[in-house]
Protein backbone atom coordinates (compact mmCIF):
# COMPACT_ATOMS: atom_id res chain seq x y z
CA UNK A 1 0.00 0.00 0.00
CA UNK A 2 1.36 3.42 -0.97
CA UNK A 3 2.14 6.01 1.68
CA UNK A 4 -0.14 9.02 1.76
CA UNK A 5 1.29 11.78 -0.48
CA UNK A 6 2.18 14.12 2.38
CA UNK A 7 4.13 11.44 4.26
CA UNK A 8 5.94 10.32 1.14
CA UNK A 9 6.85 13.88 0.14
CA UNK A 10 8.28 14.37 3.62
CA UNK A 11 10.37 11.20 3.19
CA UNK A 12 11.69 12.38 -0.18
CA UNK A 13 12.54 15.79 1.27
CA UNK A 14 14.38 14.14 4.17
CA UNK A 15 16.39 11.89 1.85
CA UNK A 16 17.21 14.84 -0.43
CA UNK A 17 18.56 16.88 2.50
CA UNK A 18 20.45 13.87 3.85
CA UNK A 19 22.18 13.40 0.49
CA UNK A 20 23.06 17.09 0.16
CA UNK A 21 24.02 17.89 3.75
CA UNK A 22 25.41 14.63 5.14
CA UNK A 23 26.52 12.36 2.28
CA UNK A 24 28.06 14.59 -0.38
CA UNK A 25 30.37 16.34 2.13
CA UNK A 26 31.99 13.00 3.11
CA UNK A 27 32.33 11.47 -0.38
CA UNK A 28 36.08 12.07 -0.49
CA UNK A 29 36.51 10.56 2.98
CA UNK A 30 34.70 7.39 1.92
CA UNK A 31 36.86 7.16 -1.20
CA UNK A 32 40.04 7.62 0.84
CA UNK A 33 39.16 5.28 3.73
CA UNK A 34 37.14 2.72 1.72
CA UNK A 35 34.55 2.76 4.48
CA UNK A 36 31.22 4.46 5.12
CA UNK A 37 31.47 6.20 8.54
CA UNK A 38 29.63 4.52 11.41
CA UNK A 39 27.71 7.68 12.21
CA UNK A 40 26.33 7.80 8.67
CA UNK A 41 25.22 4.17 8.88
CA UNK A 42 23.54 4.90 12.21
CA UNK A 43 21.62 7.82 10.68
CA UNK A 44 20.55 5.60 7.76
CA UNK A 45 19.10 3.11 10.24
CA UNK A 46 17.25 5.84 12.12
CA UNK A 47 15.75 7.12 8.85
CA UNK A 48 14.43 3.67 8.00
CA UNK A 49 16.50 3.32 4.82
CA UNK A 50 17.36 -0.32 5.58
CA UNK A 51 13.65 -1.16 5.50
CA UNK A 52 12.42 0.74 2.43
CA UNK A 53 11.04 -2.37 0.75
CA UNK A 54 10.24 -4.44 3.86
CA UNK A 55 6.50 -4.69 4.60
CA UNK A 56 5.16 -2.46 7.34
CA UNK A 57 3.97 -5.51 9.28
CA UNK A 58 7.64 -6.34 9.86
CA UNK A 59 8.82 -2.85 10.75
CA UNK A 60 9.72 -1.58 7.29
CA UNK A 61 8.36 1.34 5.29
CA UNK A 62 6.71 -1.00 2.79
CA UNK A 63 7.17 1.32 -0.18
CA UNK A 64 5.59 0.53 -3.50
CA UNK A 65 7.97 0.04 -6.43
CA UNK A 66 7.14 3.52 -7.72
CA UNK A 67 7.92 5.04 -4.34
CA UNK A 68 11.12 3.03 -4.03
CA UNK A 69 12.50 4.17 -7.38
CA UNK A 70 11.73 7.78 -6.55
CA UNK A 71 13.78 7.42 -3.35
CA UNK A 72 16.54 5.71 -5.38
CA UNK A 73 16.57 8.69 -7.77
CA UNK A 74 17.37 10.95 -4.82
CA UNK A 75 20.06 8.58 -3.55
CA UNK A 76 21.73 8.85 -6.96
CA UNK A 77 22.77 12.37 -6.00
CA UNK A 78 25.84 10.98 -4.21
CA UNK A 79 28.41 8.22 -4.53
CA UNK A 80 26.65 4.85 -4.94
CA UNK A 81 28.65 3.36 -2.07
CA UNK A 82 26.22 4.97 0.38
CA UNK A 83 23.23 3.26 -1.21
CA UNK A 84 25.12 -0.04 -1.25
CA UNK A 85 25.38 0.16 2.54
CA UNK A 86 21.70 -0.72 2.82
CA UNK A 87 21.06 -1.74 -0.79
CA UNK A 88 21.20 -5.48 -0.14
CA UNK A 89 18.69 -5.09 2.72
CA UNK A 90 16.33 -3.25 0.39
CA UNK A 91 16.88 -5.45 -2.67
CA UNK A 92 18.57 -8.73 -3.47
CA UNK A 93 19.50 -9.63 0.11
CA UNK A 94 15.94 -9.47 1.47
CA UNK A 95 13.46 -9.83 -1.36
CA UNK A 96 13.82 -13.59 -1.69
CA UNK A 97 12.64 -13.80 1.91
CA UNK A 98 9.83 -11.30 1.29
CA UNK A 99 8.65 -13.14 -1.84
CA UNK A 100 9.17 -16.79 -0.91
CA UNK A 101 9.68 -16.97 2.85
CA UNK A 102 7.36 -18.71 5.27
CA UNK A 103 5.57 -16.73 7.96
CA UNK A 104 8.03 -18.10 10.53
CA UNK A 105 11.06 -17.11 8.43
CA UNK A 106 9.70 -13.62 7.88
CA UNK A 107 8.93 -13.12 11.56
CA UNK A 108 12.41 -14.26 12.55
CA UNK A 109 14.42 -12.13 10.13
CA UNK A 110 12.52 -9.27 8.52
CA UNK A 111 12.12 -6.96 11.55
CA UNK A 112 15.88 -7.03 12.15
CA UNK A 113 16.59 -6.53 8.44
CA UNK A 114 14.24 -3.53 8.37
CA UNK A 115 15.91 -1.93 11.39
CA UNK A 116 19.42 -2.49 10.00
CA UNK A 117 20.35 -4.66 12.97
CA UNK A 118 21.02 -7.35 10.37
CA UNK A 119 22.79 -6.70 7.07
CA UNK A 120 21.85 -9.17 4.36
CA UNK A 121 23.77 -10.41 1.34
CA UNK A 122 22.86 -12.30 -1.84
CA UNK A 123 25.22 -15.14 -2.77
CA UNK A 124 24.70 -16.33 -6.33
CA UNK A 125 27.91 -15.61 -8.26
CA UNK A 126 30.73 -18.19 -8.18
CA UNK A 127 34.17 -18.50 -9.78
CA UNK A 128 32.53 -20.43 -12.63
CA UNK A 129 29.00 -19.00 -12.54
CA UNK A 130 28.02 -15.38 -12.99
CA UNK A 131 25.73 -14.49 -15.85
CA UNK A 132 24.96 -18.21 -16.12
CA UNK A 133 23.36 -18.41 -12.69
CA UNK A 134 21.79 -21.78 -13.44
CA UNK A 135 25.24 -23.40 -13.46
CA UNK A 136 26.08 -22.83 -9.77
CA UNK A 137 28.20 -25.60 -8.30
CA UNK A 138 27.89 -24.85 -4.58
CA UNK A 139 26.20 -27.96 -3.21
CA UNK A 140 23.58 -28.45 -0.50
CA UNK A 141 23.26 -32.10 0.47
CA UNK A 142 20.38 -33.15 2.71
CA UNK A 143 21.51 -34.76 5.98
CA UNK A 144 18.51 -35.32 8.22
CA UNK A 145 17.21 -31.98 9.44
CA UNK A 146 20.04 -29.99 7.84
CA UNK A 147 21.64 -29.41 4.45
CA UNK A 148 25.44 -29.59 4.30
CA UNK A 149 26.49 -26.57 2.26
CA UNK A 150 29.85 -26.60 0.45
CA UNK A 151 31.29 -24.25 -2.14
CA UNK A 152 32.61 -20.76 -2.84
CA UNK A 153 30.75 -17.61 -3.79
CA UNK A 154 32.56 -14.68 -5.41
CA UNK A 155 32.15 -10.87 -5.52
CA UNK A 156 29.43 -10.91 -2.86
CA UNK A 157 28.31 -7.38 -1.93
CA UNK A 158 28.37 -6.53 1.80
CA UNK A 159 29.64 -10.03 2.62
CA UNK A 160 32.05 -8.76 5.29
CA UNK A 161 29.19 -7.03 7.13
CA UNK A 162 26.42 -9.54 6.52
CA UNK A 163 24.71 -11.48 9.28
CA UNK A 164 22.49 -13.36 6.83
CA UNK A 165 23.14 -14.70 3.33
CA UNK A 166 20.58 -15.77 0.75
CA UNK A 167 22.53 -18.57 -0.94
CA UNK A 168 21.80 -20.34 -4.20
CA UNK A 169 23.05 -23.94 -4.08
CA UNK A 170 22.58 -27.12 -6.06
CA UNK A 171 20.31 -29.73 -4.47
CA UNK A 172 19.49 -31.66 -7.63
CA UNK A 173 20.72 -32.27 -11.17
CA UNK A 174 22.23 -29.84 -13.64
CA UNK A 175 20.47 -26.70 -14.77
CA UNK A 176 18.09 -24.24 -13.19
CA UNK A 177 15.74 -26.87 -11.74
CA UNK A 178 18.51 -28.28 -9.59
CA UNK A 179 19.08 -24.99 -7.71
CA UNK A 180 17.53 -24.20 -4.32
CA UNK A 181 17.67 -21.10 -2.12
CA UNK A 182 18.70 -21.00 1.54
CA UNK A 183 18.86 -18.48 4.36
CA UNK A 184 22.32 -18.95 5.86
CA UNK A 185 23.29 -17.09 9.07
CA UNK A 186 26.90 -15.91 8.90
CA UNK A 187 27.72 -17.39 12.32
CA UNK A 188 27.04 -21.00 11.32
CA UNK A 189 30.04 -23.37 11.43
CA UNK A 190 32.00 -23.55 8.19
CA UNK A 191 31.15 -20.04 6.96
CA UNK A 192 34.17 -17.87 6.23
CA UNK A 193 34.46 -14.53 4.44
CA UNK A 194 37.52 -13.35 2.50
CA UNK A 195 39.11 -9.93 2.49
CA UNK A 196 37.38 -7.14 0.53
CA UNK A 197 38.54 -6.95 -3.08
CA UNK A 198 40.43 -3.92 -4.43
CA UNK A 199 38.13 -2.34 -7.00
CA UNK A 200 38.09 0.28 -9.75
CA UNK A 201 35.39 2.33 -8.05
CA UNK A 202 32.60 2.42 -5.47
CA UNK A 203 35.07 2.51 -2.59
CA UNK A 204 33.26 1.96 0.69
CA UNK A 205 31.06 -0.74 -0.86
CA UNK A 206 32.81 -4.04 -0.22
CA UNK A 207 32.69 -7.29 -2.16
CA UNK A 208 34.29 -10.51 -0.87
CA UNK A 209 34.47 -14.24 -1.45
CA UNK A 210 32.33 -16.36 0.86
CA UNK A 211 33.25 -19.98 1.55
CA UNK A 212 31.02 -22.75 2.90
CA UNK A 213 32.74 -25.85 4.25
CA UNK A 214 30.09 -28.41 5.19
CA UNK A 215 27.97 -25.67 6.76
CA UNK A 216 24.91 -27.24 8.49
CA UNK A 217 21.93 -25.18 7.29
CA UNK A 218 18.62 -26.12 8.96
CA UNK A 219 16.11 -27.48 6.46
CA UNK A 220 13.69 -24.92 7.89
CA UNK A 221 15.91 -22.23 6.32
CA UNK A 222 15.20 -23.31 2.75
CA UNK A 223 13.30 -20.67 0.76
CA UNK A 224 10.47 -22.39 -1.07
CA UNK A 225 10.69 -25.94 -2.29
CA UNK A 226 13.76 -27.73 -3.56
CA UNK A 227 14.49 -26.68 -7.12
CA UNK A 228 12.76 -23.30 -6.82
CA UNK A 229 15.91 -21.31 -6.05
CA UNK A 230 16.63 -20.11 -9.56
CA UNK A 231 13.05 -18.91 -9.96
CA UNK A 232 13.36 -17.01 -6.67
CA UNK A 233 16.65 -15.47 -7.80
CA UNK A 234 15.20 -14.23 -11.09
CA UNK A 235 12.21 -12.63 -9.35
CA UNK A 236 14.57 -10.92 -6.93
CA UNK A 237 16.72 -9.64 -9.80
CA UNK A 238 13.73 -8.14 -11.62
CA UNK A 239 13.13 -5.83 -8.68
CA UNK A 240 16.82 -5.22 -8.03
CA UNK A 241 17.48 -4.26 -11.65
CA UNK A 242 14.74 -1.66 -11.54
CA UNK A 243 16.16 -0.16 -8.34
CA UNK A 244 19.66 -0.03 -9.87
CA UNK A 245 18.25 1.63 -12.99
CA UNK A 246 16.73 4.38 -10.83
CA UNK A 247 20.05 4.96 -9.07
CA UNK A 248 21.74 5.25 -12.49
CA UNK A 249 19.25 7.93 -13.50
CA UNK A 250 19.83 9.82 -10.26
CA UNK A 251 23.59 9.82 -10.78
CA UNK A 252 23.17 10.93 -14.39
CA UNK A 253 21.03 13.86 -13.20
CA UNK A 254 23.70 14.82 -10.66
CA UNK A 255 26.43 14.64 -13.33
CA UNK A 256 24.41 16.86 -15.65
CA UNK A 257 23.86 19.45 -12.91
CA UNK A 258 27.56 19.48 -12.05
CA UNK A 259 28.63 19.69 -15.70
CA UNK A 260 26.21 22.54 -16.44
CA UNK A 261 27.40 24.49 -13.39
CA UNK A 262 31.04 24.00 -14.39
CA UNK A 263 30.37 24.97 -18.02
CA UNK A 264 28.68 28.18 -16.87
CA UNK A 265 31.77 29.16 -14.81
CA UNK A 266 34.65 27.91 -16.95
CA UNK A 267 35.71 30.55 -19.48
CA UNK A 268 37.63 30.08 -22.70
CA UNK A 269 38.08 32.50 -25.60
CA UNK A 270 36.52 35.23 -23.47
CA UNK A 271 33.21 33.53 -22.64
CA UNK A 272 31.76 30.60 -20.66
CA UNK A 273 32.24 27.26 -22.40
CA UNK A 274 28.48 26.76 -21.96
CA UNK A 275 28.07 29.20 -24.86
CA UNK A 276 29.81 26.83 -27.28
CA UNK A 277 27.45 24.69 -29.32
CA UNK A 278 29.51 21.50 -29.09
CA UNK A 279 29.36 21.72 -25.28
CA UNK A 280 25.62 22.32 -25.55
CA UNK A 281 25.30 19.25 -27.78
CA UNK A 282 26.87 17.04 -25.11
CA UNK A 283 24.54 18.51 -22.49
CA UNK A 284 21.52 18.03 -24.76
CA UNK A 285 22.39 14.40 -25.49
CA UNK A 286 22.95 13.66 -21.81
CA UNK A 287 19.69 15.29 -20.77
CA UNK A 288 17.62 13.59 -23.47
CA UNK A 289 18.98 10.12 -22.74
CA UNK A 290 18.51 10.61 -18.99
CA UNK A 291 14.91 11.72 -19.46
CA UNK A 292 14.26 8.62 -21.58
CA UNK A 293 15.88 6.36 -18.98
CA UNK A 294 13.79 7.94 -16.22
CA UNK A 295 10.60 7.38 -18.20
CA UNK A 296 11.51 3.71 -18.64
CA UNK A 297 12.09 3.31 -14.91
CA UNK A 298 8.89 5.04 -13.85
CA UNK A 299 6.77 3.07 -16.35
CA UNK A 300 8.29 -0.27 -15.30
CA UNK A 301 7.67 0.58 -11.64
CA UNK A 302 4.05 1.45 -12.44
CA UNK A 303 3.57 -1.92 -14.14
CA UNK A 304 5.15 -3.72 -11.16
CA UNK A 305 2.75 -2.01 -8.78
CA UNK A 306 -0.14 -2.99 -11.05
CA UNK A 307 0.85 -6.64 -10.68
CA UNK A 308 2.12 -7.02 -14.25
CA UNK A 309 5.18 -9.15 -15.10
CA UNK A 310 8.15 -6.85 -15.66
CA UNK A 311 11.04 -9.12 -16.60
CA UNK A 312 11.46 -7.37 -19.96
CA UNK A 313 10.71 -3.89 -18.64
CA UNK A 314 13.17 -4.21 -15.72
CA UNK A 315 15.87 -5.53 -18.04
CA UNK A 316 15.28 -2.72 -20.54
CA UNK A 317 15.37 -0.08 -17.81
CA UNK A 318 18.57 -1.47 -16.29
CA UNK A 319 20.23 -1.88 -19.70
CA UNK A 320 19.37 1.58 -20.98
CA UNK A 321 19.91 3.46 -17.70
CA UNK A 322 23.28 1.85 -16.94
CA UNK A 323 24.55 2.48 -20.47
CA UNK A 324 23.19 6.03 -20.32
CA UNK A 325 24.92 6.96 -17.08
CA UNK A 326 28.19 5.66 -18.52
CA UNK A 327 27.85 7.99 -21.52
CA UNK A 328 26.77 10.91 -19.33
CA UNK A 329 29.80 10.40 -17.06
CA UNK A 330 32.10 10.28 -20.07
CA UNK A 331 30.67 13.53 -21.43
CA UNK A 332 30.94 15.16 -18.01
CA UNK A 333 34.67 14.37 -17.90
CA UNK A 334 34.96 15.85 -21.40
CA UNK A 335 33.14 19.04 -20.41
CA UNK A 336 35.38 19.45 -17.38
CA UNK A 337 38.43 18.85 -19.56
CA UNK A 338 41.64 18.44 -17.59
CA UNK A 339 39.78 19.15 -14.36
CA UNK A 340 37.57 16.14 -15.04
CA UNK A 341 40.61 13.90 -14.87
CA UNK A 342 41.74 15.33 -11.50
CA UNK A 343 40.49 13.75 -8.27
CA UNK A 344 39.73 17.08 -6.59
CA UNK A 345 36.59 17.63 -8.65
CA UNK A 346 35.01 14.24 -8.01
CA UNK A 347 33.97 13.71 -11.63
CA UNK A 348 36.61 11.07 -12.28
CA UNK A 349 35.42 9.24 -9.17
CA UNK A 350 31.86 9.06 -10.43
CA UNK A 351 33.18 8.05 -13.86
CA UNK A 352 34.78 5.01 -12.19
CA UNK A 353 31.84 4.38 -9.87
CA UNK A 354 29.21 4.07 -12.59
CA UNK A 355 31.17 1.54 -14.66
CA UNK A 356 30.00 -1.29 -12.40
CA UNK A 357 26.32 -0.68 -13.18
CA UNK A 358 26.77 -2.25 -16.62
CA UNK A 359 28.07 -5.44 -15.01
CA UNK A 360 26.37 -6.40 -11.75
CA UNK A 361 22.85 -7.76 -11.37
CA UNK A 362 23.15 -8.85 -15.00
CA UNK A 363 25.56 -7.44 -17.59
CA UNK A 364 24.26 -5.29 -20.42
CA UNK A 365 24.67 -8.27 -22.72
CA UNK A 366 22.52 -10.46 -20.45
CA UNK A 367 19.87 -7.71 -20.39
CA UNK A 368 19.85 -7.73 -24.20
CA UNK A 369 19.27 -11.48 -24.20
CA UNK A 370 16.49 -11.18 -21.62
CA UNK A 371 14.80 -8.40 -23.58
CA UNK A 372 15.00 -10.30 -26.87
CA UNK A 373 13.72 -13.52 -25.27
CA UNK A 374 10.76 -11.72 -23.69
CA UNK A 375 9.91 -9.85 -26.90
CA UNK A 376 9.78 -13.12 -28.81
CA UNK A 377 7.83 -14.82 -26.04
CA UNK A 378 5.25 -12.04 -26.14
CA UNK A 379 5.08 -12.16 -29.94
CA UNK A 380 6.75 -8.80 -30.54
Active-site residue set: 361
* C-alpha–C-alpha distance, residues 251 and 324, integer Å: 10
* C-alpha span between 241 and 367 (Å, rounded): 10
From the number of C-beta atoms within 10 Å of its C-beta (0-12, 13-18, 19+), residue 99 rates as middle
DSSP 273-310: GGGSHHHHHHHHHHHHHHHHHHHHHHHHHHHHHTT---
User: CA gyration radius for the chain?
Assistant: 21
Residue 295 phi/psi, 5-degree rounding, is: -65, -40
In the chain, helix, strand, coil percent, each to 5? 60, 15, 25
3-state secondary structure of 195: coil
C-alpha dist (Å) from residue 59 to 216, 225, 240, 337:
29, 27, 21, 48
Amino acid sequence: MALDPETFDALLSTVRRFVAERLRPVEERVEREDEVPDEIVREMREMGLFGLSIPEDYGGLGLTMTEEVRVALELGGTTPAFRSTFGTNVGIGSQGLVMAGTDAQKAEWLPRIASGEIVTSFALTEPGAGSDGASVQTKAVRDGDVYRLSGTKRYITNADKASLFTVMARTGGEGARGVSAFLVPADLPGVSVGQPESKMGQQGAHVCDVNFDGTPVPAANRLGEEGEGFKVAMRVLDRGRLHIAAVCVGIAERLIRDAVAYAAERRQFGKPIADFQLIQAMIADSKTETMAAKALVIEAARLKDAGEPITMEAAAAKYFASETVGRVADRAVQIYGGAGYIADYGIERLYRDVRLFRIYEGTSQIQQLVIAREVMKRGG
